Every structure is written in structure tokens, then in C-alpha cells.
Amino acid sequence: MVKLILIFSFICGITFQSLAGEKEDYYAITKTYQDGFYSLAIKGIDGFLKKYPRSQYRDDLLLLKAVSLYNIHKYPQATDIFNLLKDSPNTRIKNQAYFYLGRLYQDANEITKAEEMLKYAWSNIKDKKLKAVCGYELGLVYFRNRDYKSALRFWEKGLNSEFLSPSEIRAMINNLLYIYILKKDWEKAEELISKYFKPREPEYLYFQARVELSRKNFEKAEEMANAIIKNNFSEFWSQKAKLIQIWVRIEKEEPLESGDMFSDISQKLLPEIEDEYRYLQAYALYKQKRFAAAVRWYQRFISRYKTSRFLDRAYLELVDSLYNINKLKEAKRYAREFLDKFPNSLYQAEIIYSLGWISYKEGDLQLAIEEFKKVAEIAEDEELKINALCRVGDLLSEIGELDAAIRQYDY
């Protein structure tokens, strides 16, 4: 009770010199902060710093104020204080300022700044709990930058951390599964699914369906999606399962109009699945070779869903659609834009492969050779690597360098 009285003394401008000194006032404020009374703590800190402008606790209390502002979603004010504290002589306070600035920049979609701040914090933080959370946040930065190798490095270690919250662990699992399935590392995906989900849970059925879809085992994928719908877990899981059904129908190239595929959930679409739904509308047109229509849908998707996990595919298929309707300059522009934004994407080699074909179609055979060679150097997919090497051989033959072409085929 005495500590709360002290806080109110700062708010009201009352001095209780006889009741407590600087140290007692400081501990009263920290207790208020620890109890979650953030607005009250902020006012108390303002009063304290007015009363003790040269206090040894100044930076400590400014950190508490900044974190309190962060916790009550007053982000611009919090950012100003954290920017001030990142030059603090106190290493602990400086590192925490860098950490929270990383979070704030990530929330504002300023990914480059977020990475810079979080990398500094990660390298210098000693506190095990904060370091674990920092690693989780760095994983998110790399995931959003399509740098999945770096995301894996942080998240595979973080799965065993005792310091992360259940929601953070769950988010890591979901994102790791996305990466494993994208990389066609099905064994790791299934191991993770079996370890963290029970067979009758919707997550188990859903992610197994995604694995089977990636393997092109369409009947098994649809079977799992049907099981989710039948169990009626929730509207969210029912809609996710219906998207699996749509994926299957598109991949099997069933001769249906896209409107028939999507009408079942279009009227009650949940925000959490909207980006995948919109992507599939474009993808359905692409698979039907309706490239001009697909271009319009992909362009809208890229403009609206800038952080979607389907953005890589959307760029790749947009470039290919533009190539197929002979809009080569526009195709090249989107390909370059993607490579500039996401230089570490797993789709990098495929985008450059598309650039090779564009250069060939434009008549720049030397540039096409260089691009196909680049694909052969960086591609992880063996089929893509072989195709690129064959294209190099074909083009060398076309420009009369037969010996070089033969060596390329032999390679």
C-alpha cells in the first residue's frame, strides 16, 4: 500500500520526503511495473525523473517506461525512448533497447532495420530468456525475407527452449512445417507432426494433408481434408480443409470454372486464410493456361499481400504468365523486383531460370547462357539444375561453340 501511495505522490506532485528516499521510490515504481500497472508506472516514472533529474536509476526507469508504452501499444513514444537508450552506457539496457526496436521495426514491416537491431541484440544479450525470444524474432525476420535457411538455424534450436511461450512454440512449428514441405523434406515434416500433434487433432490432419499434397498423393490429401470437415473442429479448420480440396482440384486440372471451385467459402471467408484463397484464385487461372487473366489476379495479389507466404510462388507464376503472353519487359521487371527484395528465396533459381528464357526470347543468347549457368550453380533441385545445364549446352551449340557445348552436356 505504501508503494502505491508513493506512485500517486509523483502523479500528484506531492513529495513524501519523510516517507521514502530515492531508492524506495525507485522500488515502488518497479513493483508497480511488475504488477502490470503500466499507465500508472509511466506516470510514476515521469514524477520520479522530475523529482530526481540526475538519478542513478534514470536509464533503468526510462527502459521500464519504454516497455510499458510498448505493452499498451503506444509504439511511436516507445520507439523514441528505445532509440535514446540504444546509446546507453549500461550494456543490459542497451541490448534490451536494440531488442525492442527490432520488434517494433518488424511490426512496422521495416525488415532490414529489424534484422539489424535483432542481430545486434542476439550477439550481445546474456539473459537466456531474452536471447531465446530474440532468436525467435530473428527467425521471423528471416522467414518474412524468404531466407528460410537462416530461419531454420534459429527455429530448430528454439524448439527445445524452456523460455518461449506456447504461442511462440506453436508459431515456430507451423512455420517450420511450411519450410520443410516447401523444401520437400517430408521426413522432417512428418517427424515434427508426429512429435507435436495427436492423430485426431486438426493440426495433425491438416499438416499431413499438406505433406501428401506436396507429394502429389491427392487422394490421401483429400481424405485428410474430408476428415477435418467431418469432425467439424471449427470454422477456421473447415475452411483450411476446403482450401486443401481446392488445391487438389487445381493440381488434378479438373475441368471446372474457378467460380465453382471457390463459391463454397467465398461468402464467409476468414481473414486468416484470405491470402491463400486469393492466391488460389490466380493459380487456378494459371493452371488453366488463362495467362492474361492470371496476370491481373497475380498483380493484385502481390500488391495487397506483401507478407504472404505464397508471395514467392505468385511472383514466379506471374513472370511465367507474362512470358507466355509475350510481355517480356514486364516479366523481366517483376523477376528483377523479386530478386532484389528476396535474394535468399528458395525460388531464386527458378526466377533466374525464367530470366534465362526471357533473355533467349529477346535474342540475347550470351546473357541467357550466363543466367542458365547461374541456375546450375545455385539450384538445389536436381531436375532444375540438369535442365539449366542442358539449356547452356543448347545455346552454346546455337552460337557455334560446339566443343564447349559437348563439354557442357558431358558435365
Rounded Cα gap, residues 20 and 44, in angstroms: 14
Looking at domain 87-164, its CATH class is mainly alpha
Report whether pLDDT(138) > 70.
yes
Q: Is-same-fold flag (87-164; 347-411)?
A: yes
High-pLDDT (> 90) share of the chain, %: 82
For the chain, domain boundaries: 1-85, 87-164, 347-411
Closest Cα to residue 348, out of 316, 311, 324, 322? 316
Q: Do the beta carbons of residue 343 and residue 366 sit within 8 Å?
A: no
pLDDT in tens, 146-179: 999 999 999 999 998 999 999 999 999 999 999 9
Give the model's pLDDT for residue 396. Answer: 81
Rounded Cα gap, residues 409 and 394, in angstroms: 9
CA distances from 136 to 9, 106, 123, 408 (A): 40, 12, 14, 44
Question: pLDDT class for 394, splitting at 50, 70, 90?
Answer: confident
Q: What is the mean pLDDT of residues 378-401?
A: 85
Asked: is 347-411 a CATH 1.25.40.10 domain? The reply is yes
Give the model's pLDDT for residue 21. Answer: 82
Q: What is the mean pLDDT of residues 304-328?
A: 96
Q: Could you please report the per-residue DSSP string of 252-302?
A: TT-S--HHHHHHHHHTT--GGGHHHHHHHHHHHHHHTT-HHHHHHHHHHHH
* Average pLDDT over the chain, rounded to an integer: 90
Report whether pLDDT(409) > 60.
no
Question: pLDDT class for 38, splitting at 50, 70, 90?
Answer: very high
Give the model's pLDDT for residue 391. Answer: 87
Give the model's pLDDT for residue 12. Answer: 45
pLDDT in tens, 2-32: 444 444 444 444 444 434 588 999 999 999 9
Give the model's pLDDT for residue 392. Answer: 86
Q: What is the mean pLDDT of residues 388-394?
A: 86
Question: pLDDT class for 399, splitting at 50, 70, 90?
Answer: confident
Give the model's pLDDT for residue 406. Answer: 60
Question: pLDDT class for 267, splitting at 50, 70, 90?
Answer: confident
Q: What is the mean pLDDT of residues 352-361?
A: 96
Question: pLDDT class for 260, splitting at 50, 70, 90?
Answer: low
Top-confidence residue, 45 or 405? 45
Give the model's pLDDT for residue 276. Answer: 97
